[in-house]
Amino acid sequence: MRFKNTKGAFNLYAVTGTNTVAFGIDCSEKNMKKLLGFTVEKEYTNKEGQKVKVTSMGFKVFKERIENPVAGALYSTYDNPIQSFVWEDFGCYPSCEYIYNFTPLYDNPLNITRGKIFSITVETEPDWKDNDHSIFFNRGVASSQAYAVKFKNNNPDAEGEKAYKWLSRGLKEAIISFIEKTGNGDELFGCFYEFRHDQILQCLREAKDRGVKLHIIYDAKENKHLDSDTGRMIDSFPKTDNEDAIVNAGLSDENEVIKIFHPRKRNKSYISHNKFMVHVINSVPKRVWTGSTNISKGGIFGQTNVGHSIDDEIVAGKYLGYWKELKDDPESKTIKNFNEQLQKNIPKVKDIPVGVTCIFSPRKNLDMLRFYADLLDSADDCACITLAFGVHEYFASALSDNTLSNALTFMMLEKDDPDISDYIYKNNVIKAVGSYLKENTIYKWVRETNTLALGLNKHVMYVHTKFLLKDPLSKMPVVVTGSANFSEASLVSNDENTVIIKGNTRVADIYFTEFLRIFNHYYFRWVVRKMDEAGTLESENPAFLKPDDSWTEQYKTGKYKRKRVEIFTKMHV
């Protein structure tokens, strides 16, 4: 949902997701003079019905006030303010009303003057919403000060269920909830790449026991093959792990295994990369679960992922038709013909219909990949994309001639990519790369870990989502999400599914606020990494606040950060 308060010297804009709220603050340059930042206070009613009023905390401090901050400690924004005109709160509950009070601070760190409070009341989105979209992001930031402080960078196995619950952030619980919605006589059709999380497979076993008819396709490719996305040789992965997990869950009854499971064995040079389920009631497909999340420990608790439930019979019917075509393990040519009959390529961005469009892979050519690059480049105000396996030349080419008149384009990468050059910001394209803070990287900030060190992921450690947003705060936003990376293999080789959602502001708001959460988390660490490599970290240590109004310079007319504020001031409410 979107909110604004434009009645005072500071105009305040807010966008809410389920667990996230993003803010934009607009003011004249006159009101920036001697501005040190903002104190933020939040009021709400907790689950026990108690009124709560808290002042937001942060890691940064004024060196003039606290010369030796405690490593990993949080400090109140009451006198160590937020120095930004865009800010996010990621500690919210779904379906909850919040009042945010912002107080501008002026003068200098040792003699602070407090300005007039300006406020806004917002409401977060529900996590589950019937007859609509329900969207769940995991935490995806094991590389964080929070995990280091809460769990001492320990393997979650050593910390127990509390660590896994924190990392899941409701994603595992949502997968289980989707399965538990099925009842006696219902059918559940699943199609998976990694299918090896014991608790979720046990949940499927319990569904079977209560009379749900299961139909599961899983990747069962044998022999070594080259993964086109990662460029590495894979030895019967995830076949062996999948089949071991099926046996462990008691789902491999010899009399029923043929009825339940349909191994995907053909076309060994690529992968069956889907991660979706279709719930069918009385022979009518009702809802779909899709997204980027593999049914694995690393997928749910490690790298950033999303699960997306769609209550729509037409969409569910298309997924079921695709599933039935995959069931008999078809050759590549056969499934390509079917997929393009089910949904033709979209010629131009203007041709996207309002609602949900399903795109299934493999396809005959790369026309849809070029379309996604055009879509990203067509934004008027803002575009966002997450890229787990590099930047395809179509995207690099589309963005190469961008100027300051183009929309801001945010790119969240798993690894740095030379095709987008070695910059952080250039010509309205802003890049962040998966990173973490190492020992003694930043003065008084604790060392962080990553999902490789935690034993959760081996290859993709940070960003595994595959989504694209065009003008997410407009009246007619476009969201692209699913299992398919924006890569050649995902279009013409792999089994994949993608949905293009146009005109649903609720979906766009949730994805946008979560993108900001992920992007800003890693952007800071990426900047620190680049400063460390350049040898400027000690002299320009970003762990301390500016002692004057110099931080506001980048928010003035014509500056890059000013454009970030304008994303909010131009939003459709």
Same domain, 511 and 390: yes
Tally of domains in the chain = 3
Give phi and psi for 253, each to the nearest 5.
-55, 125
Q: Does residue 159 sit in the same domain as residue 287?
A: yes
Distance, CA of 445 to CA of 346 (rounded, Å)? 48
Q: What are phi and psi of 534, to 5 degrees?
A: -85, -10
pLDDT in tens, 530-540: 888 888 887 77
Cα–Cα distance, 38 to 105 (Å, whole number): 6
The single-letter code of the amino acid at 297 is K
d(CA 80, CA 471): 33
- In a domain, residue 572? The reply is no
Domain boundary among 307, 327, 348: 348
Q: Identify the residue whose tokens are 């964080």.
A: 144
The residue assigned the tokens 């899709």 is: 290
Provide the pLDDT for residue 418.
73
Q: Is 280 exposed, middle or buried (0-12, 13-18, 19+ CB in 10 A)?
A: buried
Rounded to whole angstroms, the Cα distance separating 425 from 402 reads 12
Residues 335 and 437 in one domain: no
pLDDT in tens, 197-223: 999 999 999 999 999 999 999 999 886
For residue 513, give Cα distances in angstroms to 211, 253, 455, 519: 39, 44, 28, 10
CATH of the domain at 14: 2.60.40.10
HEC assignment per residue over 2-39: EEEECCCCCEEEEEECCCCEEEEEECCHHHHCCEEEEE
DSSP character string of 47-74? TTS-EEEEE-EES-B-TTT-SSPPTT--
The pTM score is: 0.95
Residue located via tokens 């919210």: 92
Please identify, among 315, 348, 381, the residue that sits at the C-terminal boundary of a domain: 348
340 in the same domain as 204: yes
- The whole-number pLDDT of residue 227 equals 56
Mean of the per-residue pLDDT values of the chain? 93
* Residues 242, 324 within the same domain: yes
Amino acid at 26: D
Is residue 112 domain-shared with residue 183, that is, in the same domain?
A: no
**pLDDT of 44-68, one tens digit each?**
998 888 999 999 999 999 999 998 8
Domain membership flag for residue 88: yes
pLDDT digits (tens, 9 = 90+) for 314-339: 999 999 999 999 999 999 999 999 99
| Residue 562 falls inside a structural domain | no
Tell me, what's the pLDDT at 536? 84
CATH of the domain at 319: 3.30.870.10
Tell me the CA distances in angstroms from 317 to 134, 212, 338, one per residue in order.
18, 18, 15
At 103, is the secondary structure helix, strand, or coil? strand
What is the model's pLDDT at position 253? 61
Do 274 and 341 lie in a common domain? yes
Q: What is the β-pairing status of strands 261-264 and 213-219?
A: parallel
Does residue 217 sit in the same domain as residue 253? yes
For residues 367 and 506, membership in a common domain is answered with yes
For residue 563, being part of any structural domain is answered with: no
State how beta strands 213-219 and 187-192 pair. Answer: parallel
For residues 519 and 434, give the distance between their C-alpha atoms in angstroms, rounded to a whole number.
9
Residue 487 lies in a domain: yes
The residue range of the domain holding 313 is 133-144+155-348
Residue 531 lies in a domain: yes
Q: What is the pLDDT, as a whole number, of residue 364?
A: 96
Residues 102 and 165 in one domain: no
Q: Is residue 501 within 8 Å of 340, Cβ to Cβ?
A: no
Q: Are 25 and 91 in contact (CB under 8 A)?
A: no
Amino acid at 87: W
Flag residues of the chain having pLDDT under 50: 257
DSSP secondary structure of 435-460:
----TTSSTT------TTTTTS-SS-
C-alpha distance from residue 571 to each of 5, 270, 509 (Å): 13, 42, 11
pLDDT in tens, 110-169: 999 999 999 999 999 999 999 999 999 999 999 999 999 999 999 999 999 999 999 999
pLDDT of residue 539: 75
pLDDT at 417: 82
Strand duo 187-192 + 275-281: pairing: antiparallel
Task: Find where tokens 């680049």 sit.
Answer: 530
Phi, psi values for residue 409, rounded to 5°:
-120, 120
Residue 41's H or E segment, with its range, is strand 35-45
DSSP for residue 231: -
What was the pLDDT predicted at 344? 96
Residue 324 neighbours by CB distance under 10 Å = 12
Structure tokens at 255: 């009399």
Query: Is residue 564 one of the residues assigned to a domain?
Result: no
Q: Is residue 325 part of a domain?
A: yes
361 and 299 both lie in a single domain: no
Same domain, 286 and 168: yes
The pair of three-digit structure tokens given for residue 198, joined into one six-digit string: 């014991």
